[in-house]
A and B are shown apart, each in its own frame.
Chain A
């Protein structure tokens, strides 16, 4: 038997392509949701009122302390345990019926998961705000909300870029478990191709290669973002340093 037959890949390109789109949609939408929701939650996380900060801390503790695969299975298969949920499906309830859709369940789980990590990254970044900046904002007569909106959050968002780029890459790779709930993402496509042709190397190595390329693209994009938004932290250019002497 041939160990590597390139035709298995070329003959199934359309399926890989559709899988790639599912992966990109899932990852992209989950990251968008997670990022937007993380900003208010990070502010709540840093609140001095425990009634505000504790629920957020409990949420991030749960989602960061358990595997995303188990969370996904909990949402998708776990939903059917409840009688009221099954009744709602029976009655074709517009909201609860979504929990029958694997795509929605995956999106919800991935979104909540990446949001939990993003909250902690952003909150950590906000904690590192230099004291003087806050004092300056106060001295300018800004309210707490104004200083958050104008000073703390924008600066924290810049500082979190390196840590957040890791989270984005982990999210892309984590999305591979979507095939556990019957979704045909890039990994799901590779699993289909494998079981049709019994060709594990072609199927999984090709999928792995695409993930690798996507990772490189993301790393490159974040390099550009750091260059753009963290330019003030970059080491001085050698030429300039010489002139200064």
Chain B
């Protein structure tokens, strides 16, 4: 217990890194997901095929393998470019590699979530918007997007919880997230069990807090919808 108190500042610093990775990844994933959904719903077939390939590969390859590929492969590519132009050596940051990988993997999951949600908005709503003289962008911002979000929220919540947990693998490319901090603290104090359990508790706290935020968002975006009473 003493060891845990002694190491709590670095453990909390690690938790902050975990949270940063998760939040930046989810932002990247949402943007990618919106773009991906737009591509999958586009009338231009090659765009749909490429997005299909993207979502299939990203969801069919383990996140760790993808992360190792981005981290080590990215370094090799950067080195090749540097050699070519005789620039100074640049090292790929595990933070950047982690956020990019997790963001792009979950972008594939968000693509599917948003695609389904866009399709769930009744077309009559969009037609009504156009009939009122709104531009395409106005219809998207005022009608399509808010209603789409209502359908997408359960999926967004699920994806976020899975994403949050998958951030633990960034410790395997050397980023000092809370799992790696616990690893080092456990080694030096010979109390690995205590520290890994502490990380588990911190993850549970984060998931519980996310539950509150998601609940609030769900209520906000479901204003005016009568839920089925069972």
A contact residues vs B (CB 8 Å cutoff) = 1, 3, 61-62, 65-71, 73-74, 77-82, 172-177, 179-180, 187, 190-191, 194, 198, 200-201, 204-205, 207-208, 211-212, 215-216
Q: How far is the CA of A190 from the CA of B77 in the complex (A)?
A: 18
Segment of B62-70, B137-145, B148-156 in the binding face: B62-70
> B73 on the interface (CB 8 Å rule)?
yes
Is the pair A71, B200 in contact by a Cβ cutoff of 8 Å?
yes
User: B191 an interface residue at 8 Å Cβ cutoff?
Assistant: yes
Q: Which of B66, B192, B203 contacts A78 (CB 8 A)?
A: B192
Question: Bound state CA distance, A68 and B63, in angstroms?
Answer: 13
Contacts A200-B73, A208-B57 aside, 13 further interface pairs with beta carbons under 8 A come to A1-B80, A65-B165, A73-B182, A73-B192, A74-B192, A74-B196, A78-B186, A81-B186, A173-B63, A177-B169, A198-B76, A200-B75, A205-B69
Hey, which chain B residues are within 8 Å of A175, CB to CB? Answer: 62
Q: A173-B62, A174-B62, A187-B65 are in contact. Are A66 and B193 (CB under 8 A)?
A: no
Would A81 and B193 count as touching, CB distance under 8 A?
yes
Q: B9 contacts which chain A residues (CB < 8 A)?
A: none
Assembly CA distance A208 to B166 (angstroms)? 17
Contact between chains at A208 and B65 (CB < 8 Å): yes
- Whether B194 sits at the interface, judged by CB under 8 Å, is yes
A82 nearest CB neighbor, chain B only:
B193
Smallest CB separation, B63 vs chain A (Å): 7
Scan residues 72-88 of chain B and give those whose CB is less than 8 A from a CB of chain A: 72-73, 75-77, 80
* A78 and B165 contact, Cβ closer than 8 Å, known pairs A3-B80, A201-B73: no
User: Please, how many angstroms separate the alpha-carbon atoms of A70 and B203 in the complex?
Assistant: 10
A211 touches B192 (CB 8 A): no
Check B192 against A176 for contact (C-beta < 8 Å). no
- Which residues of chain B from 10 to 52 have any CB-CB distance to chain A below 8 Å in the complex? none
Assess whether B194 is in contact with A81, with CB atoms less than 8 Å apart: yes
- Majority secondary structure of chain B interface residues (helix, strand, loop or mixed): helix
Tell me if A194 and B72 are in contact (CB < 8 A).
yes
CA distance in complex: A166, B124 (Å):
34
Of the four ranges (under 10, 10 to 19, 20 to 34, 35 or more), the interface on chain B belongs to: 35 or more
B60 engages A67 (CB within 8 Å): no
- B162: nearest residue on chain A (CB-CB)? A170
Which residues of B are in contact with A by a Cβ distance under 8 Å? 56-57, 59-66, 68-69, 72-73, 75-77, 80, 165-169, 171-172, 179, 182-183, 186, 190-194, 196-197, 199-200, 203-204, 207-208
Given A173-B62, A200-B72, A70-B179 contact (CB < 8 Å): yes
Instruction: List, in ascending order, chain A residues with CB within 8 A of B190's CB.
Output: 81
In the assembled complex, the Cα of A80 lies from the Cα of B165 at a distance in Å of 25
Which residue on chain B has the smallest CB distance to residue A79?
A: B193
**Given A62-B200, A78-B196, A180-B172, A200 and B69 touching (CB < 8 A)?**
yes
Closest residue on chain A to residue B68 by CB atoms: A204
Whether B196 and A211, one on each chain, are in contact in the complex, defined by CB atoms closer than 8 angstroms, is no
The answer to whether residues A81 and B65 also contact, given A69-B168, A200-B73 and a CB cut-off of 8 A, is no
CB distance from A107 to the nearest CB of B (A): 18
- Tell me whether A200 and B194 are in contact in the complex, defined as CB-CB below 8 angstroms, given that A70-B199, A70-B203 are known contacts: no
Residue of B whose beta carbon sits closest to that of A1: B80
Bound CA span A194–B66, Å:
14
* Chain B residue contacts of A201, Cβ below 8 A: 69, 73, 76
Closest 5 CB pairs of A and B: A78-B193, A200-B72, A67-B168, A176-B62, A204-B69
